[in-house]
Amino acid sequence: MRQTIQSSASHPDDEHGKTDPILPAATGSKEEIATPLPKEVMRQHFENRGLSRRTVDIITASWRASTCKQYQVYITQWRRFCHSRNTSYLQAEVETVLEFLSSLFHDRNLSYSAINTARSALSTFLILVDSNQTISTHPLITRLMRGVFQLRPVVPRYTEIWNISPVLNFLRKLSPVNSLNLRDLTLKVCMLMALVSAQRVQTLHILKTNKMTLKGGFVVFHLDEHLKQSKPGNTDFNFKLEAYPPDRRLCIVKYVKHYVQRTGPLRGNENSFFVSYTRPHNRVTTQTLSRWIKTCLKRAGVDTNVYKAHSTRAASTSAAAKAALPMDQILARAGWSSEKTFRKFYRKPFENKRNFTQAVLQDSTLL
């Protein structure tokens, strides 16, 4: 993506007199500015400090692709803001940072979370020229962020979660397995796995058939890629899905076996567990997996204008907590290290659209 801006003066850089290699020289006419990747900006910051390229390579590898994608939005906006003021984007006064964050609040109407992400993005490379503090610790910036929190409180995406019973009833109807076309089989396996694994779509996306162990009563996936919760000392994450003999229509082990058998002749050398149910049967994206889950939710009667694919984590873990499953098992399955995370972001009361008469008279027993 390239942006066009008006410029009538040269753009200064750091105290060593270096120019911004990404911004063009001013000509008094409209100039195109290539939007840099966050790591390019970070690299420039560290290289200007005299660090070697191989050292910079290691440092910049600490930011994941998803984080860089978020940061790029705000780094681009910051550079435009600085360019309009004819100031360096690699170093600035505290007042300039405060005005930028304030503009995100007033002009763009951003939430506390978004503005805090912008502050984090700037903290990766920006030097405050009039303070020994960092952007993360400067008292005025911290105070401004507290003000943003008070004026625009953080509101959870969901105050309640959809009831899991209608979704399970919908999945029961997708049977027997031998009668399902590949599309319905794929949708059922994706939705059922999202529920019984309590994992993010990101995790489902990296599952591989050659990293899977299938035995009589369970299926185990070994994950050889980093997850959101991966960190030093917590990188080897496997999860085990158990069979469900009481109702074979909801048995994830049974449906995983059938899915692998059905897709085996179609996938060729593709090791990714989830593949497209249409030709060519290649690995699907996280967006496709999310769409599959939302399709199931919608077919089960869940309002997908409100609830997104990620809501399966809250639904399944809230159901497990309601069933009095020990908290350590819930945390282990979802990959959380703290009960606080579950209680703050995921544990929700279930929707109840019945009135008192319906609650008394309706038979809620699952068939």
Query: Per-residue pLDDT tens for 16-34?
Result: 333 343 333 333 333 334 4
CATH number, domain 164-356: 1.10.443.10
Longest Cα separation, the chain: 79
Q: Tally the residues of the chain.
A: 367
Alpha helix positions (H), 174-326: 182-197, 201-205, 252-267, 286-299, 311-322
Every domain of the chain with CATH number 1.10.443.10 lies at 164-356
We find that the CATH architecture of domain 2-151 is Orthogonal Bundle (1.10)
- 246: pLDDT confidence band, cut at 50, 70 and 90? very high
- 229: pLDDT confidence band, cut at 50, 70 and 90? low
Q: What CA–CA distances, in Å, run from 60 to 40, 117, 123?
A: 9, 17, 13
Token pair 């469900």 is found at 244
* pLDDT at 361 exceeding the cut of 70: no
Looking at residue 228, its pLDDT comes to: 53
Every domain of the chain with CATH number 1.10.150.130 lies at 2-151
- What's the mean per-residue pLDDT of the chain? 81
Which residues face 4 on adjacent strands? 32
Q: What is the pTM of this model?
A: 0.69
